[in-house]
Amino acid sequence: MMAAALDARIDALLPQTQCTRCGFAGCLPYAQAIARGEAPINRCPPGGEETIRALAGLLGVPPAPLDPACGTEGPPRVALIDELRCIGCARCLAPCPVDAIIGTARYVHTVIAERCTGCELCLPPCPVDCIALVPAPFARLDPVANRSRHQAHQQRLERETRSRAAAIETQKAALRADLSGAA
């Protein structure tokens, strides 16, 4: 099987929470590492035993118990921001891999529960601990929707990076023109 095809098949079995608890930067990098034989199949707490069994079946290897160093399996959870305690610092926005948190600096933020993957990445940067994980309003994660939202998030970041780079180049050109005109 071609490596890219195997990557995609493994990635399709992962829950797409992009939580990084497996030790990789997201579900696709983890899938790629599994495909290369560089990572075990038991490092995905959100996917838990079901995902481990599916990966074992795909790869023809025996299932292994979830690696406790990665966390524990549990029901889906979503972030909830205590809006009375939120100071609007916006530190929770950037780490969200699916843009499920809305708000802007100096204003209260909120989580769109239906979009939240429960990745927990918004918890550490919050300086006032106003974010908690609560039971999700749904019984299962939707990997297809999660992947789509993550891809949209990545595309938005790439657009913003290109836009910033273009603005910097425009400023540099203006400065060069000013300097050459002053000479």
Please give the domain boundaries of the chain with CATH numbers for all domains. 3-70 (1.10.15.40)
Q: Which stretches of the chain score pLDDT less than 70? A: 1-3, 183
- Residue percentage of the chain with pLDDT more than 70: 98
**pTM to 2 decimal places:** 0.85
Q: Which residues of 114-143 are buried (b: 16+ CB within 10 A; e: fewer)?
A: ebbbbbbbbeeebeeebbebeebeeeebbb
**Are the beta carbons of 132 and 119 closer than 8 angstroms?**
no
DSSP, collapsed to helix, strand or coil, labels residue 58 as helix
Give the whole-angstrom CA distance, residue 73 versus residue 93.
Answer: 25
Tokens 């300097």 — which residue? Answer: 179
3-class SS of residue 26: coil
Predicted confidence (pLDDT) per residue in 62-87, tens digit: 999 999 999 999 999 999 999 999 99
What pLDDT, on the 0 to 100 scale, is given for residue 148? 94
Q: pLDDT averaged over the chain?
A: 94
Number of Cβ atoms within 10 Å of the Cβ of 98: 23
- Structure confidence at residue 1 (pLDDT): 56
> Residue 68: what pLDDT?
97
Q: N- to C-terminal Cα distance for the chain? A: 63
Place of tokens 């019984």: 139
Q: Distance between CA 13 and CA 44 in Å, rounded?
A: 11
Question: What tokens appear for 145 in the block?
Answer: 């929707």
pLDDT at 182: 73
Encoded tokens for 124 = 């550490």
Backbone φ and ψ for 132, nearest 5 degrees, come out as -125, 155
Distance CA 22, CA 39 (A): 9
131's enclosing H/E stretch is strand 131-135
Of 66, 103, 59, the C-alpha closest to 81 is 103
Q: Which residue has the tokens 């990572």?
A: 39
